[in-house]
């Protein structure tokens, strides 16, 4: 995809140094490893291997989360005219990224990415590109610190919050423990967005493979990556006050399926997903 580096106008040497913390596993790099990426280190690979031993279908489930993101973005751009996206929990850039999917249909689409892994930040600075008509930007922040997101210049300078925005939370809320009130965080974020905005979210569940998914949770938690497994009822709570689009909250491969979902079985997917609109 043609485009220009959104960081090209900034000096590489002006960027502050970051501590990559390659000595400990990080959720974004474990995900990258299990998806076949190369931006990971020995602790990430050890965590990924242990998790995949606990549940060999984990990479399949992760890929379905990625495909769900692609389908939800295309649907919102084509059917609901969405042109602005706030993507929290971006992860290691892996084409096609959200802005590439959106801008392929609507070149003027604008996307703000948010993540708190320094390796994600480093790659985003150099790899995130945009069409000339659109824009991408990046915020280094944690979803649990909403003030650092909502108050960021990068957000205000890129997105018009008086117009509809899609809040995309893909493979992120299971890293937010119940004590941090993830549903409350989502409600606050949606409260800041204009009517007509949308929420697209995935929620990690043990409903389809309870023992195996519990094993994944243990492996993550033992390596210092807190992981919360939730039921369908808990997943549905994220959409309180919003208008769910068909087919509602469902296993990812059942949400508007296409060729990427062919042959996928329920017991291979440990994620619920859904898309909803904010009315007036």
Mean pLDDT, all residues of the chain: 92
Residue 12 covered by a domain? no
Whole-angstrom distance, CA of residue 98 vs CA of residue 85: 9
Sequence-distant (≥ 6) Cβ neighbours of residue 55 within 8 angstroms: 209, 212, 213, 215, 216, 270
Q: Looking at the 3D structure of the chain, how many domains does it have?
A: 1
pLDDT band for 17, please (50, 70, 90 cuts).
Answer: low
Task: Please provide residue 52's backbone torsions phi and psi, each rounded to the nearest 5 degrees.
Answer: -70, -30
Q: How far from the centroid of its chain's Cα atoms is residue 83's Cα?
A: 17
Residue 19 covered by a domain? no
In this prediction, residue 121 carries a pLDDT of 80
pLDDT over 70 percentage in the chain: 92
pLDDT over 90 percentage in the chain: 84
Given a cut of 50, is residue 13 above it in pLDDT?
no
User: For residue range 40-86, what is the model confidence (pLDDT) as tens digits?
Assistant: 999 999 999 999 999 999 999 999 999 999 999 999 999 999 999 99
Asked if 111 and 99 count as a contact pair (C-beta separation under 8 A), the reply is: yes
| Interval 142-154 mean pLDDT | 97
Q: What is the pTM of this model?
A: 0.92
* DSSP code of residue 97: P
Full domain range(s) for residue 170: 27-278
In this prediction, residue 8 carries a pLDDT of 32
Residue 14 covered by a domain? no
- 149 Rama sector, left if φ>0, alpha if ψ -120 to 50, beta otherwise: alpha
In this structure, of 113-117, 126-130, 200-204, the range with the lowest mean pLDDT score is 126-130
Of the candidates 126, 131, 125, the one whose C-alpha atom is nearest the C-alpha of residue 139 is 125
Given a cut of 50, is residue 20 above it in pLDDT?
yes
pLDDT band for 10, please (50, 70, 90 cuts).
Answer: very low
Residue 179 covered by a domain? yes
- Counts of helices then strands in the chain (DSSP H, E): 10, 10
Residue 4 covered by a domain? no
CB atoms within 10 A of CB 5: 14
Q: What's the CATH code of the domain at 52?
A: 3.40.50.150
In this prediction, residue 14 carries a pLDDT of 43
Sequential DSSP letters for 141-167: --TT-HHHHHT-HHHHTT--TTS--EE
Residue 10 covered by a domain? no
Residue 18 covered by a domain? no
Residue 127 covered by a domain? yes
In this prediction, residue 124 carries a pLDDT of 77
Distances (CA, A) of 218 to 53, 55, 126, 214: 12, 11, 35, 6
């Amino acid at each position: 995809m043609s485009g220009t580096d959104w960081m090209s106008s900034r000096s590489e040497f002006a960027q502050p140094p970051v501590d990559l913390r390659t000595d400990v596993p990080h959720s974004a790099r474990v995900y990258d490893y299990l998806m076949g990426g190369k931006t990971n280190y020995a602790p990430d690979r050890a965590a990924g291997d242990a998790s995949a031993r606990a549940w060999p279908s984990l990479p399949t489930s992760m890929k379905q989360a990625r495909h769900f993101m692609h389908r939800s973005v295309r649907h919102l751009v084509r059917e609901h005219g969405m042109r602005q996206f706030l993507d929290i929990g971006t992860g290691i850039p892996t084409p096609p990224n959200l802005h590439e999917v959106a801008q392929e249909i609507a070149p003027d689409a604008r996307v703000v990415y948010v993540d708190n892994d320094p390796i994600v930040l480093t790659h985003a600075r150099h790899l995130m590109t945009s069409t000339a008509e659109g824009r991408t930007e990046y915020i280094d922040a944690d979803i649990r610190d909403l003030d650092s997101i909502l108050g960021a210049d990068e957000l205000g300078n890129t997105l018009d919050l008086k117009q509809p925005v899609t809040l995309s939370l893909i493979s992120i809320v299971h890293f937010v423990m119940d004590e941090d009130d993830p549903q409350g965080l989502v409600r606050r974020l949606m409260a800041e967005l204009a009517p007509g905005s949308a929420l697209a979210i995935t929620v990690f569940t043990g409903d389809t493979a309870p023992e195996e998914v519990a094993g994944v949770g243990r492996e993550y938690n033992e390596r210092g990556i807190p992981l919360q497994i939730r039921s369908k009822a808990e997943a549905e709570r994220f959409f309180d006050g919003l208008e769910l689009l068909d087919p509602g909250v469902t296993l990812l491969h059942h949400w508007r399926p296409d060729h990427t979902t062919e042959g996928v079985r329920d017991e291979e997917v440990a994620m619920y997903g859904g898309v909803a609109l904010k009315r007036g």
